[in-house]
Amino acid sequence: MLDATPLSEGWTLHHDGAALPAAVPGCVHTDLLAAGVIPDPFLGRAETEVAWVGRRDWTYETMLDAAPGEHEQTDLVFEGLDTAAEIRAGGQLLGRVRNMHRSHRFDVTGLQGPLSVRFTSAYTEAEAVRERLGERPNAYPEPFQYIRKMACSFGWDWGPTLVTAGIWKPVRLERWSTARIARVRPLVTVEDGLGRVELYVDVERTRVEAALRVTARVGDVRASAEIDGTSGVVRLEVPDPALWWPRGYGEQPLYDVELELLSEAGPLDAWRRRIGFRTVELDRSPDAHGSGFTFVVNGERLFARGVNWIPDDVFPSRITRERYRTRLTQAAEAGVDLVRIWGGGIYESEDFYEACDELGLMVWQDFPFACAAYPEEQPLRGEVEAEARENVVRLMPHPSLVLWNGNNENLWGFRDWDWESRLAGNSWGEGYYLGVLPRVVAELDPTRPYTAGSPWSGSWDHHPNDPAHGTHHSWDVWNRLDYAAYRSEVPRFVAEFGWQAPPAYATLRRALPGERLAPDSPGMLHHQKADDGNGKLARGLAHHFAMPEGGFSERDFDRWHYLTQVNQARAVAAGIEHWRSHWPVCAGTIVWQLNDCWPVTSWAAIDGDGREKPLYHELKRLYADRLLTLQLRDGELVLAVINQSAEPWSPSLTLRRMSVEGGVVAETSVGLAAEARSVALIRVPKDLEPVGPKEFLVADADGDGDGLRALHFPVPDREVPYPQPRFDVTVAPGKVTVTAHTLVRDLLLQADRLAPTASTDRGLVTLLPGEQVTLAVRGWETPDADAARAALYCMEPTR
């Protein structure tokens, strides 16, 4: 049998004659950080102090002993090298590589002595390609589109510029004889209650004449096939397989697939994966509203409740299996059922997709192209096809993977960002998105749909970001308008939209040690990467809240921090509630974004230290199977009862027109039935509509145990004469209870102010007079009522 030996020990990092211990997998920055050579680039403004690292060449070295022993051949296998490198072993040049997204294999049989991997600065490589192929436009002033590397290493509007190098994935020696499995391409289908698994096997040989065969097993089903030369296919049929479903629609049964390569002398190599049986289609049919974009899994049409995913660390080698599991479990617990892996990052590790398989999270996989015109000439073209072929086959076993997407925003950029005139006919990536990539997917993985980009209307017959056709990115709202503008249109599928807020207070305190925090303090500004980000935050607040004269200062920081968190949650709620209420015309939302790669003011629901912002808890409400929302439709106020569950829902609804002082002006009860996977609407009676700044409407669904509520205030907060909030606070181990004596709007316990380790299970809560809420608190060892009260924030009278 093939013998694999990890090659993770004994590495050193060399530069300018110095040698440091090196971790493999790892990267230059983490090695320098561990050695105390550089400060933590996440703290303060140290990012700028380490910029030199990305401009240098670096060499990793260890000793190699590739004696084959009892085997005929020894291969050196790098699962991932970041990025442009020359590999030498035993005094011989093994090869040169230039793609972070691929693995690399070299025959090193019998070689002994030093093994070195010399990395050229990614800047040097990218700038040389740019010089050769010509300038192409992009969204940021860095040359990320000229090298097949994680684009956001070069910085983004939420990320630091930390251009990495290193052996970022495992490396090993493989010793083998006669033949080894080079590739297994599994096609998994299900039709009429019969599951089919076709395993297309490619082998590499040392002995051409040897007779080879493969055997395979799925559960109790077994089959075998001969290898004809270097390839073969083994087919298995599984009767009545249990279907894999997205979370909320059913279970996630997974089947072990085991394949073995044999010669007459016995076993040579093995391949093992887990698969799931399910069908996935993308309905893009034209209709009266344009052309749709609806996921259909096992025949069930879905409203996708999604989040965008960026690399969870700017140094991806630090992301462990446990960290993936934690972050994706957070997503699932927030009601998410789809995760889009954004195109400026990476193809994630097996740990990511395995967690999604088990949690029932559908995966939308971008190919790594984002926000730039990409040259289509060599050396990039060959690398693009090679990486696509490798990763399509690598990820095919995962039932969670439901869509291949060609790029992020590049088709849109060509049309709207003044690229066409600047390109003057030069290649820019269209040949990848409409040629190479769909061809590779159709050839290798015909079981999954492909779309050319996001946003994309389906063809050049429509604007790439036309909300009536295909996928839509809604960024005018954040950049130029108030979030109320989300309600002005009904896109077919909203693949990106979002609103910024700073990270949790404890995250800021750790990231900016010793700094006196203010919205515009030096560290806060450094950890705000968006163009005019603070200006957009301020203008977004001004639409809704009374602003201090001259803006928020250091003295007002806590209030600014709270209000920006509220505004982020409300903005996302405005979009999702509106779009969900228009199902099935709108068939999904993907919030930008779930996570962060460092501590930063951003659109994330979970900050760079893993702390959950109020937006995260708001997503639990917004993405629940059942949701109430009050919406204006054609000038009339309606209550939408959204039921994405598998059972009909007939809630008993209470509508109360209330004054902000707490009195009930008018009240009624109504019944309304919402069928499974549907939305039901009811017109709010005229006498229940709130009038003026002192009134609001409350809709409650009683008797279902969920405590579902919708609120409608007819004017912005700055015009609402909120009473001075009065409430009692009691504490006990693991909980804080608040009892309201007045209207208490958007009450928020910032648990991390109690202790950096503390967290709570709730976000923003609105209490009517006499109502009570108990907030679970974890990680707080010494409960104290005064401390809890100091960590509670809510709406206050306008100052």
Q: Give residue for tokens 């004696």.
A: 67
| Sheet containing strand 194-205, strands side by side | 179-191, 194-205, 231-239
Give the whole-angstrom CA distance, residue 763 versus residue 742.
19
The predicted-structure confidence for 360-369, as pLDDT tens digits, reads as follows 999 999 999 9
Which of 213, 224, 204, 206 has the alpha carbon at shortest distance from 261? 213
pLDDT for the residue 551? 84
The pLDDT of 279-285, averaged and rounded, is 98
First-to-last CA distance in the chain? Answer: 76
Give the whole-angstrom CA distance, residue 356 versus residue 353.
5
One fold for 3-174 and 178-275? no
Taking each helix axis as running N to C, give the angle between helix 557-580 and helix 533-542, from 0 to 180 degrees, rounded to the nearest 10: 80
The predicted-structure confidence for 58-101, as pLDDT tens digits, reads as follows 999 999 999 888 999 999 999 999 999 999 999 899 999 999 99
653 Cβ contact list (under 8 Å, min separation 6): 628, 639, 641, 669, 670, 671, 672, 682, 699, 700, 701, 702
pLDDT of 799 over the 80 cut? no
The pLDDT of 434-441, averaged and rounded, is 98
pLDDT of 704 over the 50 cut? no
Active site residue 260: no
pLDDT for the residue 616? 98
Q: 626-719 maps to which CATH number?
A: 2.60.40.10
Specify the CATH superfamily of domain 178-275.
Immunoglobulins (2.60.40.10)
pLDDT of 705 over the 50 cut? no
Q: What is the pTM of this model?
A: 0.97
Q: Average pLDDT over the chain, rounded to whole?
A: 96
Domain ranges of the chain: 3-174, 178-275, 284-622, 626-719, 727-793
The pLDDT of 16-36, averaged and rounded, is 95
Q: For domain 284-622, give the fold.
A: TIM Barrel (3.20.20)
Give the whole-angstrom CA distance, residue 387 versus residue 401.
17
Catalytic residue among 409, 430, 612, 695: 409
Which of 538, 619, 535 has the alpha carbon at shortest distance from 576? 619
The pLDDT of 770-780, averaged and rounded, is 96
Helices (H), 543-658: 557-580, 614-622
pLDDT for the residue 703? 52
Q: Tell me which H or E stretch contains 28.
A: helix 28-34
Instruction: Give the rounded percent of residues in the chain with a pLDDT score beyond 90.
Output: 95
pLDDT for the residue 550? 81
The pLDDT of 353-361, averaged and rounded, is 98
Which of 660, 663, 691 has the alpha carbon at shortest distance from 798? 660
Going by their DSSP bridges, the two strands 12-15 and 18-21 should be labelled as: antiparallel
The predicted-structure confidence for 245-274, as pLDDT tens digits, reads as follows 999 999 999 999 999 999 999 999 999 999
Out of 3.40.50.720, 1.20.210.10, 2.60.120.260, 3.10.620.30, select the CATH number for domain 3-174: 2.60.120.260
The predicted-structure confidence for 156-214, as pLDDT tens digits, reads as follows 999 999 999 999 999 999 999 999 999 999 999 999 999 999 999 999 999 988 999 99
pLDDT-derived band at 17 (thresholds 50, 70, 90) equals: confident
Q: Tell me which H or E stretch contains 440.
A: helix 437-444
The predicted-structure confidence for 376-414, as pLDDT tens digits, reads as follows 999 999 999 999 999 999 999 999 999 999 999 999 999
The predicted-structure confidence for 456-509, as pLDDT tens digits, reads as follows 999 999 999 999 999 999 999 999 999 999 999 999 999 999 999 999 999 999
pLDDT for the residue 351? 98
